[in-house]
Amino acid sequence: MFEFTREQEMMRAMVREFAETELAPRVREFDERGDIPRDIFRKTGKQGLIGMTTPKELGGSGIGHVAAAIAVEELSRIYPSLAFSLADTPGLMHIIEHFGTEEQKDKYLKPSIQGESILCIAATEPTGGSALTDLRTEAVPDADGYTINGRKVYISNGGIADYCLLLAKTGDRASIIIIDRDNPGFIVSRRQEQMGFKGLHISELAFSDCRVTRDSVLGREGGGFAVAMTAFVVNRPPIGAVGLGIARGAFDIALRYAKERVLYHKAICNLQAIQFMLVDMDTDIDAARWLIYYPGAALDRGVAPRDLCKSAARAKAVGAEVAARVTQKAMEILGGYGVSPEYHLARFLNDAMELFPAAGTAQIMKIIQAGEILKQ
Ligand SMILES: Cc1cc2nc3c(=O)[nH]c(=O)nc-3n(C[C@H](O)[C@H](O)[C@H](O)COP(=O)(O)OP(=O)(O)OC[C@H]3O[C@@H](n4cnc5c(N)ncnc54)[C@H](O)[C@@H]3O)c2cc1C
């Protein structure tokens, strides 16, 4: 068990205010234009919402993984597209911090933390994201570097990222290679329209005789799966926190509505059927909160990501489930208004559904947990 510290609670209040003043009035605009303006990323950087898991000497605030998840949860309560687009930064920064050279840390960490540049990770291929080891994208080495050919799909921030961390086959193993957006062999083939996360650029990327130098590899050549797995374990709890934020946003809308909506001369929150739904939603959120924050608290205590595979997979799976379940109940409480865009719940439900496949499907999350349980 743990409690949030005073510092974390203050940070939550600060992010909530930022989300309510900077994001809430503009979410429809962002969804309609299908884009979050760069100045919003810069503002999140200025507010210190990126780089909370990176130590001070590398440009972050070092306040930790729980704090980073709190920030994601609060942003998601208002605008899940932005929360999701930032949710994988702790994992990406973690692998640059732990596997990167001094030059790579200098080049990629500070600008990302300030919201000046955006990173993406490209692992999934058109032939199947779950079978990650069947990579077709290949980086062929020569005297000065690598030539990369292949395709990646569903890449969050893929269309706007300044740097792409690419998982590619190198010989019979895999490596993570960092590619700059202005590399002529790096092509954003198309944006992939989704049912939710309308402000997020999810894109298909192509690599066509894309030349990179030897020092573009993150970590050692051939060590790419271990590096990618580390990023996934660190990313999954904040992605779960996106779901928790959606659930909290939906709950708050439903509670407010239930107190205001009058039927039979009294507010519908007096109806026991409505109260029971609110109780179920609140219980669901509380239960999910502990599972989602636990791996971040463990990382903050110094537990290694490799020892958190089960709890991180569980956090991500639970986040998707709580988001969908609570939002659906909130929609029922609002009756016909539940499906109106005015009340945001339809948008939340669409966003919640995106969380099921993102960062590994529900079934893959269960396979990871089962593997760890059977080791006991
Ligand atoms: C919003 C969003 C953001 C994303 N962002 C990124 C990103 O930034 N970078 C990136 O690389 N990818 C990203 N993805 C891709 C995501 O990681 C993949 O969609 C996911 O890994 C599943 O791969 P797939 O879609 O190819 O499904 P498939 O792997 O084809 O799976 C199809 C079905 O088979 C099931 N299945 C597969 N293997 C097994 C098994 N062994 N046992 C039982 N069932 C199985 C799956 O659970 C699923 O139901 C994103 C996806 C979404 C929706």
User: What mean pLDDT is predicted for residues 132-161?
Assistant: 97
Task: Give pLDDT tens digits for 95-137.
Answer: 999 999 999 999 999 999 999 999 999 999 999 899 999 999 9
- 280 with 352, same domain: the answer is yes
Ligand 1-lining residues (CB < 6 angstroms) = 120-124, 128-130, 154-156, 197, 202, 354, 357-361, 363-364, 367
Sign of the CA dihedral with 355 first, then 359, 361, and 363 last: negative
Tokens of 264: 């039979």
Residue that terminates a domain, selected from 194, 221, 248: 221
Task: Give pLDDT tens digits for 164-208.
Answer: 999 999 999 999 999 999 999 999 999 999 999 999 999 999 999
- C-alpha of residue 130 to centroid of ligand 1, in Å: 5
- 340 with 360, same domain: the answer is yes
Per residue in 306-337, is it b (16+ CB within 10 Å) or e — as a string? eebbbbbbbbbbbbbbbbbbbbbbbbebbeee
- 131 with 78, same domain: the answer is no
CATH number at 138 reads: 2.40.110.10
- 290 with 338, same domain: the answer is yes
Q: How many domains does the chain have?
A: 3
- 158 with 81, same domain: the answer is no
Task: Give pLDDT tens digits for 59-108.
Answer: 999 999 999 999 999 999 999 999 999 999 999 999 999 999 999 999 99
Mutate to test the pocket of ligand 1, among 202, 361, 365, 369 (most ligand atoms within 8 A of CB): 361
**In the prediction, which pLDDT does 128 show?**
87
Domain annotation covers residue 1: no
Domain annotation covers residue 98: yes
Mean pLDDT in the chain? 97
**In the prediction, which pLDDT does 261 show?**
98
- 308 with 188, same domain: the answer is no
Residue that terminates a domain, selected from 61, 84, 113: 113
Q: Reply yes or no on whether the pLDDT at 1 is more than 70.
A: no
Task: Give pLDDT tens digits for 268-278.
Answer: 999 999 999 99
Residue 186: domain span: 119-221
Q: Reply yes or no on whether the pLDDT at 232 is more than 90.
A: yes
- C-alpha of residue 367 to centroid of ligand 1, in Å: 13
pTM of the model as a whole = 0.98
Counting atoms of ligand 1 from 1, which one is nearest the CA of 167? 11
